[in-house]
Structure formats: C-alpha cells, structure tokens
Chain A
Amino acid sequence: MTQNIEKFDVIVVGAGPAGNAAAYTLAKAGKKVLQLERGEYPGSKNVQGAILYADALEQLIPDFRDSAPLERQVIEQRLWVMEDESYVGATFRSDRFNQMPGNRYTIIRARFDKWFSEQVQKAGALVICEMTVIALLRDESGKVIGVEVDRKDGKIYADTVILADGVNSLVASRAGLRQDIKPAAVALAVKETVFLPRETVEARFNLKGSEGVVIEMLGSISQGMAGTAFLYTNKDSISVGIGCMLSDMKAQNTTPAELLEKLKTHPSVAPLIAGGETREYAAHLIPEGGYKALPGLYGEGWLLVGDSAGFVNAVHREGSNLAMISGRLAAETLLELGEKGLPSSAANLARYKARLEDSIVLKDLKKYRNIPETLDSQRQFLTDYPALLNDAAHEFFTVDGRDKASKEKAIFNAFRERRSLLGLLGDAYRLWRATR
C-alpha cells in the first residue's frame, strides 16, 4: 500500500545554518515547510571551528542572545604567522566589544544547531530527522517537484526544494545540478575539542566572564600547503584545528591528523592546551574554491544555499554566516514569488542570485575570486614569507654587538636573497591583485 504524504510549499534538505535560516524565514511567514535532516538530530553531523558571526543570525532572530547556547564572546583576535619554533603575531583586543552587543561568539555546533532547530520548529516548520533524501522528483518538463527519501513510501512533494545539504551536496550532485567537488576546491579541516577547567581557560588567555579569544594561524604549520589553523576558546574547552586544500594533502601524502598533532606540539600552542583532555575529534570538508568554483545556484524548482552552493570566504574564515544569509535570501525570494503569485521557475528564481549579488555573500566572494589561484601558484606566501618574517623578528629583537642599521640591512638582504627585488615587487602586486 502506498501512502501519499501531503504536499508542502517548500522542502528544505538539511538542518545546518543555511537550511535552518531558510526554513525559519519561510515558516515564520506562514509557509508550509518540511525540513529533512539525515542526522539523528540537527547538528549531529555538523562540524565547524566554530565562530558565530552575530549579524547574520540577528537578521533572523534579533534576540538570539537571550536563548542561544553561546560559549564566549570574542574580544580578542590574534593572527600568528608561524615558523617551527616561533610566530610573529598581530593582536587586537578591545574592551569595547564588551560594551556593545557581541559581534562574534565561539559556539559548539551540536548544541547551537539543536537550539536553532528548536526555533525553526517553534516557527512552525515540520522537522524530521534520520531521513535521507536520495533523489529529486521531477515532472515531465524536468522541473523539480519534490524529493524521494530512503524510507518506504518516501515520495514527498513541494513547490520548491531548497538544497542545504552541505559541502558534498550528494543530492544536487546525484541529480546533476552541480558537479562533484574537486580536491582543489575543497579544504579538509580537522579539529579537537580539548577540555580544561573554566578557570584554566580564563587564566591562560587573560579572560573574565564570558570573554573569548580567537587565534588564527598560518605559515610553517601547513607545511607549504594552502591552509590555516585555529584555536578558539570555549567555556570549558579549547577548539584547536587545522585545514588544508585536499589536493595539497594528496600531493604531499599528508594526513590531517599528522598536521594537527604537529600543531598541538608547536611550542607556542602546546602550553595553551597543556593538561587538557581531548574528548571530541571531528573532520569536515570546506568548500574553498571561491567565486570561480560556484555551481549553478538555482534552476526549475530548486535552489542551492550555504556550503552546498560553495559560499565560504576562506580568507576571512566566514562560512556559516554566509550560509545563514543565503538561506534567508533564498526564503525571501520564495516569499516574494509567493506574494506575486509567480511559480518557482528558473527565470523567477534568478531573483535569488540578484539578492546574493547585492549581499556580502557574492560581493565578498567576488572580491577574493583570485585568491585560490594565487595561493595555489604562489607558494612563497605560505612558505618563504612566514620564515623571513620570523627570522627578521628574531634578528631585530636580539640585542647584540651589531648596530641597528646593519641589522635592518641584513633583514632586507635576506628578503632580497630569497625573493629578489623584482620578486618582492611582483609578490606585492599579486597580493594586491588577488584581494581586490
């Protein structure tokens, strides 16, 4: 006996930030929304560093700070350019962050996503977990009209399907809506959550209350591969991780676990996590192909949002915020079509892309469109410069018999020897080009 499950206005596939933002916006506006998640609960399969940028969530839930499970409010941002035994760093710490509503927080995604999903359900969406979409249903003209799930009697219909099923987007790939991700367009990131007493975290990072610190790292820790590392303070744990382009890892025959072990023993990192107990280990792919690797974002009856659309700004470590923004914009596009009585045709869904282009999602991705290629072909930015910078600092801060002018000259000569004068000018130009 085949039972027919009723039809929905929108089916959202996936309960991460993008899917939740879309489902929340649509349900709140009164649409009949079904959200399907293959994990045991929303957040069970989701991995992130994780930093929450408040703005994107505030657009959806202005008072989220009252109920969302936030770890620490980031008041200090450090950037470390690393060599094997040292780092040159820049730090911005400001108490002004304490005097305004928080702009960025550390979060634990399993908890945060669960909370976010509760808001979605309160808004009126039907959320069903442990249900995996295996195919898209189409009518004779090819328009997407629903999904088929991995369970008996599992055909479910909707006017529009929003695919928020993450970086692999198996559904979109299988349906031919986008290509499989390429190793050169995706980073493999791993992280450990190291538990320490709250007081220890606060003492080591000079924190009080719910203040938090973020450290972003690059340089020798990625062993010449395109990648960065991070260390985030949570309430009573520290998230430490590293990610590099999958194609690089393959070429170097390195595993992310090796990279992470090395990072953890770096003399500047080890004391920060010393004595902690690793209780979680997670790995995830991050679409870092940027603007040039974006797939088609919409079509007849379907939209891609979040990681499945490749919305990650690798330079600024932004992704979940772009996911939320894209989810909201996808929803708002559908609400606009609904008001005007227009169907979810590809021609009408083009408005979604227009909204994205008008937002930081595509504006920022466009700005950094050349970064992946630059980093891929110009490895000196990840190898030579961090080394030069650290050597220079070492030279400069060692007081010995030599006069300062000689020291400066030695430093400059070191740069020139390694990169040549033209090389230095060329690198400056390349960096300037890649970031505008």
Chain B
Amino acid sequence: MHIVVCIKQVPDSAQIRVHPVTNTIMRQGVPAIINPYDLFAIEAALALKDQLGGKVTVLTMGPPQAEAALKKALSYGCDDAVLVTDKLFAGSDTLATSYVLASAIRTLDQENPVDLVLTGKQTIDGDTAQVGPGIARRLKLELLTYVSRIVRVDPAARSIRVERRAEGGVQVLETRLPALITMLEGSNEIRFGSAPDLFRAARAQVRRWDRNAAGIEDITKVGLKGSPTIVSRVFVPSSRARKALQIGFDPANPEVATQALLDKLLAEFPKVKKELDNKRAAAGERHE
C-alpha cells in the first residue's frame, strides 16, 4: 500500500485575531500547526500501514517554513515527506492548489503507485473543503468525503469500505482503489510517536519540489494567475448579542415551569410547533 496524505500548515486559528481597523488577519506570533483535521488523515494512514504494511508519504504545498509541519508528520511515523514549494504558487486558491497537489501526486505515483490519498475534511483557515475533492476529480480517483471510519481495505480485491457521516445517519460506502478520502474530526486520535520515529524525523531530509520536480505542466494554472477566486472583502461579523430570558418558576410545581418554557420556545419557533401539532394530531388519530 502506498498512501499519500495531503496536509496543510495553518496558523493556529484559536490564537488568531483580526485587526479591528484594517480587517486583516494578524498572524504575528501565532504558531503554525498542522491543520487539525489533517491529523485524523495522518493517523488513519498510519493505522492502515500498521495493518497492511506499505508506505505513507506526506505531502504539502506551501512556503519553505511548511517543512516544520512535514517533519512533525514524520515524527508520528510517516515514511517520506515532500514539500512542493515555488514562488509561482503564491496566491493559489483551492483550484490552483488542487492542480499543484494533483500534479505532485501523479509524480509520486510514477515513483511508487499510489493506492490511496487521504486528507482532512477541510482546513481551519480556509474552511472550503474543496482541495480534496479537486484532487480526486483531477486524478479521477474515487471520492469519499466526511469519512468517520475506514472499515476495511482489501489490497487484493482493490476495494475499500468506509463509514461516511451524512445528514441523519451513517452511510456505509464501498468503492474501488485508488480512492481519495477526506477524514472527519474525532475519527481517531493521533499517536504518540516512538523515540526512533522522532530521531528519524529530526534527521530526515524533507524533499523539496519546485514546479518542475512536481511535474507541473501548465504554469498558468497555478498561483494568482491560476486562481479565479476573488476575495472582495474581509470583515469581522458583528457579534450577535441576544439576551438570556429568565422564566421564574415555583420549585414545588415543575410541570407549570416546563409548560411555560415549552410555550415560550414554541412561540419562538412556529415551525417546530406546527410539526409537533401535526404529530400530535396523527398520534391522537391513532389513539382514537
């Protein structure tokens, strides 16, 4: 099995602030971390490697300092790391980024055929969830998004079965390899790498690919030029202040308090009230 995990180095958004006047993001002093969703992809890849053997390659596109994120990934137990970095890539949106990463994966595939590409469901700085699907589309990989569990991978049968969280339930999906999976949060917990893994990561040379090494064929598809997305405005949404409502009640009479609370809520959400009334009517009919 050769698994490629696409990660992104992001500013720790928990510590980021927006400049109140210029509306620009103040990155100064904010630590860079691996996109937290990508950690679930890394762990899922390592767990598959434990089970089936093979190799996990971690891949990112970014500035030179993104090497730290790759080294961190190596310290968890990934085998190989590639940083795709080129001044031409600056300003890439999700369309351009997926083009760069797809090209790099194609190059990796020539070295060692890729069976599976994993990534987090989205990043915490962009929140688009577009790059994973973009790569899958470009490389014609089977796409499985919002995966909460990889049930099994059968390398001989070239098949994979996963659980996918969908509205109102869990879908169990099976498809063929090669596939691209975007992992959901909470699906696993990143491991505590062994001492030898940390030594290996500390000494590892992360491979650096420029546009040529990464196999980029069309440079008009990367960077600002290849990015049709326009950020027209950045602003801080005004905080929605809502007053808490206090409903006084007599502790000796909880039923009355419950009824008061219910009435208040149902008055606030007429749609719910209507649904409830309908259900009540239906239930009432059945009783009669």
Residue ranges of A at the interface with B (Cβ–Cβ < 8 Å): 3, 5, 40, 126-128, 130-131, 149, 151-154, 156
* Residues of B with C-beta under 8 A to A156: 195
Expressed in whole angstroms, the Cα–Cα distance for A156 and B195 within the complex equals 9
Q: Establish whether residues B194 and A130, one from each chain, have CB atoms under 8 Å apart when the complex forms.
A: no
Given contacts A128-B199, A131-B198, 15 further A-B contacts (CB under 8 A): A3-B194, A5-B195, A5-B196, A5-B199, A128-B198, A130-B198, A131-B195, A151-B195, A151-B198, A152-B192, A153-B194, A153-B196, A154-B194, A154-B195, A156-B195
Q: Establish whether residues B194 and A151, one from each chain, have CB atoms under 8 Å apart when the complex forms.
A: yes
Mask, B175-194, CB within 8 Å of A = 1, is 00000000000000000111
* Residues of A with C-beta under 8 A to B203: 126
* Residues of B with C-beta under 8 A to A127: 202
Expressed in whole angstroms, the Cα–Cα distance for A257 and B196 within the complex equals 42
Mask, B110-138, CB within 8 Å of A = 1, is 00000000000000000000000000000
Q: Establish whether residues A3 and B196, one from each chain, have CB atoms under 8 Å apart when the complex forms.
A: yes
Q: How far is the CB of B42 from chain A (nearest CB, A)?
A: 16
Expressed in whole angstroms, the Cα–Cα distance for A131 and B200 within the complex equals 13
Q: Establish whether residues B194 and A152, one from each chain, have CB atoms under 8 Å apart when the complex forms.
A: yes
* Residues of A with C-beta under 8 A to B192: 151-152
28 A-B pairs whose Cβ atoms sit less than 8 Å apart in the complex: A3-B194, A3-B196, A5-B195, A5-B199, A40-B31, A126-B199, A126-B202, A126-B203, A128-B198, A128-B199, A128-B202, A130-B75, A130-B198, A131-B195, A131-B198, A149-B195, A151-B192, A151-B194, A151-B195, A151-B198, A152-B192, A152-B194, A152-B195, A153-B194, A153-B195, A154-B194, A154-B195, A156-B195
Expressed in whole angstroms, the Cα–Cα distance for A217 and B241 within the complex equals 44
Expressed in whole angstroms, the Cα–Cα distance for A13 and B75 within the complex equals 19
* Residues of B with C-beta under 8 A to A3: 194, 196
Expressed in whole angstroms, the Cα–Cα distance for A126 and B193 within the complex equals 18
* A interface: dominant SS: loop
* B interface: dominant SS: helix
Q: Which of B49-69 contact A (CB under 8 A)?
A: none
Expressed in whole angstroms, the Cα–Cα distance for A130 and B72 within the complex equals 10
Expressed in whole angstroms, the Cα–Cα distance for A153 and B192 within the complex equals 12
Expressed in whole angstroms, the Cα–Cα distance for A3 and B195 within the complex equals 9
Residue ranges of B at the interface with A (Cβ–Cβ < 8 Å): 31, 75, 192-196, 198-199, 202-203
Expressed in whole angstroms, the Cα–Cα distance for A126 and B194 within the complex equals 17
* Residues of A with C-beta under 8 A to B198: 128, 130-131, 151
Expressed in whole angstroms, the Cα–Cα distance for A128 and B194 within the complex equals 12
* Residues of A with C-beta under 8 A to B31: 40
* Residues of A with C-beta under 8 A to B75: 130
Expressed in whole angstroms, the Cα–Cα distance for A151 and B192 within the complex equals 7
Chain A residue nearest in CB terms to B199: A5
Among A126, A149, A151, A153, the most chain B Cβ lie within 10 Å of the Cβ of A151
Expressed in whole angstroms, the Cα–Cα distance for A149 and B196 within the complex equals 11
* Residues of A with C-beta under 8 A to B199: 5, 126, 128
Among B194, B195, B196, B199, the most chain A Cβ lie within 10 Å of the Cβ of B195
Q: How far is the CB of B285 from chain A (nearest CB, A)?
A: 63
* Residues of B with C-beta under 8 A to A151: 192-195, 198
Q: How far is the CB of B145 from chain A (nearest CB, A)?
A: 31
* Residues of A with C-beta under 8 A to B202: 126-128
Chain B residue nearest in CB terms to A44: B31
Expressed in whole angstroms, the Cα–Cα distance for A126 and B200 within the complex equals 11
Expressed in whole angstroms, the Cα–Cα distance for A154 and B217 within the complex equals 46
Expressed in whole angstroms, the Cα–Cα distance for A3 and B198 within the complex equals 13
Q: How far is the CB of B116 from chain A (nearest CB, A)?
A: 26
Expressed in whole angstroms, the Cα–Cα distance for A130 and B198 within the complex equals 9
Q: How far is the CB of B14 from chain A (nearest CB, A)?
A: 14
Chain A residue nearest in CB terms to B192: A151
Chain B residue nearest in CB terms to A34: B199
Q: How far is the CB of A110 from chain B (nearest CB, A)?
A: 8
Chain B residue nearest in CB terms to A236: B28
Expressed in whole angstroms, the Cα–Cα distance for A3 and B194 within the complex equals 10
* Residues of B with C-beta under 8 A to A149: 195
* Residues of B with C-beta under 8 A to A5: 195-196, 199
Q: How far is the CB of A143 from chain B (nearest CB, A)?
A: 22
Expressed in whole angstroms, the Cα–Cα distance for A153 and B195 within the complex equals 6
Among B75, B192, B199, B203, the most chain A Cβ lie within 10 Å of the Cβ of B199
Q: How far is the CB of A376 from chain B (nearest CB, A)?
A: 39
Expressed in whole angstroms, the Cα–Cα distance for A131 and B201 within the complex equals 13
Shortest beta-carbon contacts, A-B, top 10: A152-B194, A154-B195, A151-B195, A3-B196, A128-B202, A153-B195, A153-B194, A153-B196, A128-B198, A151-B194
* Residues of B with C-beta under 8 A to A152: 192, 194-195
Q: How far is the CB of B12 from chain A (nearest CB, A)?
A: 11
* Residues of B with C-beta under 8 A to A130: 75, 198
Chain A residue nearest in CB terms to B194: A152
Q: How far is the CB of A375 from chain B (nearest CB, A)?
A: 37
Expressed in whole angstroms, the Cα–Cα distance for A330 and B110 within the complex equals 52
* Residues of B with C-beta under 8 A to A128: 198-199, 202
Expressed in whole angstroms, the Cα–Cα distance for A287 and B129 within the complex equals 51
Chain B residue nearest in CB terms to A126: B202
Chain A residue nearest in CB terms to B201: A128
* Residues of B with C-beta under 8 A to A154: 194-195
Among A40, A128, A154, A156, the most chain B Cβ lie within 10 Å of the Cβ of A128
* Residues of A with C-beta under 8 A to B195: 5, 131, 149, 151-154, 156
Expressed in whole angstroms, the Cα–Cα distance for A126 and B199 within the complex equals 9
Expressed in whole angstroms, the Cα–Cα distance for A131 and B31 within the complex equals 19
Expressed in whole angstroms, the Cα–Cα distance for A127 and B202 within the complex equals 7
* Residues of A with C-beta under 8 A to B193: 151
Chain A residue nearest in CB terms to B17: A279
Q: How far is the CB of B31 from chain A (nearest CB, A)?
A: 8
Expressed in whole angstroms, the Cα–Cα distance for A40 and B72 within the complex equals 10
Expressed in whole angstroms, the Cα–Cα distance for A410 and B136 within the complex equals 89
Expressed in whole angstroms, the Cα–Cα distance for A411 and B119 within the complex equals 77
Expressed in whole angstroms, the Cα–Cα distance for A5 and B197 within the complex equals 11
Q: How far is the CB of A109 from chain B (nearest CB, A)?
A: 13
Expressed in whole angstroms, the Cα–Cα distance for A127 and B203 within the complex equals 9
Expressed in whole angstroms, the Cα–Cα distance for A241 and B192 within the complex equals 36
Q: How far is the CB of A85 from chain B (nearest CB, A)?
A: 35
* Residues of A with C-beta under 8 A to B194: 3, 151-154
Expressed in whole angstroms, the Cα–Cα distance for A130 and B75 within the complex equals 10
Q: How far is the CB of A216 from chain B (nearest CB, A)?
A: 27
Expressed in whole angstroms, the Cα–Cα distance for A149 and B198 within the complex equals 11
* Residues of B with C-beta under 8 A to A40: 31
Q: How far is the CB of A88 from chain B (nearest CB, A)?
A: 37
Q: How far is the CB of A149 from chain B (nearest CB, A)?
A: 6
Q: How far is the CB of A271 from chain B (nearest CB, A)?
A: 24
